[in-house]
Amino acid sequence: MIESESPRLSAIFHALGDPTRRDMIRDLAKGERSVGDLAAPHDISLAAASKHVKALESAGLIRREIRWRTHVCHLNAEALAAAHDWLDSYRRFWTDRLDNLEDLLRQEKKAQHPKGDAK
């Protein structure tokens, strides 16, 4: 539907492409976390974690609330939903078609290449 979402989707999927960042999202699904909290399990420097958080934030996947001297992060439903919706537009490929896929392909193959001639 919306096609100008492209740069946004790129940022979202790119952010999702890193396992460390997916871990952070998993943690954030359990509740709010500070940048330090998010960094802790990942054996990387705080600065590196800060970059990951920044990537998640600029993709819109999380939001940050500066409380005190700690930056408290939480998930943002909107961006998560945007990625989900994009994938959902291809849903028919695993609902309507999944079971028939092989048969369909076999039929199409036959239709386009009727010759049974060998090599």
Partner DNA sequence: AGATCGGTCAACCGAATTGTTGAATGACAG
Partner DNA sequence: CTGTCATTCAACAATTCGGTTGACCGATCT
Contact set with a second copy (CB under 8 A): 6-7, 9-10, 13-14, 16-19, 22, 25, 29, 32, 65, 67, 74-75, 77-78, 80-81, 83-84, 86-88, 90-91, 93-94, 97-98, 101, 105, 108-109, 112-113
The entry of DNA, a second copy, none that residue 4 binds, CB within 5 to 8 Å by partner kind: none
The entry of DNA, a second copy, none that residue 90 binds, CB within 5 to 8 Å by partner kind: a second copy
Entry field: residues in the chain: 119
Shortest CB 59 distance to DNA, Å: 10
Contacts of 29 (CB under 8 A, 6+ apart): 75
The entry of a second copy, DNA, none that residue 50 binds, CB within 5 to 8 Å by partner kind: DNA
Is 5 buried (19+), middle (13-18) or exposed (0-12) by CB count in 10 A? middle
Shortest CB 3 distance to a second copy, Å: 9
Residues that bind DNA (CB under 7 A): 14, 17-18, 20, 34-37, 39, 43-55, 64, 69-72, 119
Helices assigned H by DSSP within the chain? 6-16, 19-30, 35-39, 46-58, 77-88, 101-112
Distance CA 39, CA 50 (A): 8
Q: Residue 101 — φ and ψ, nearest 5°?
A: -55, -50
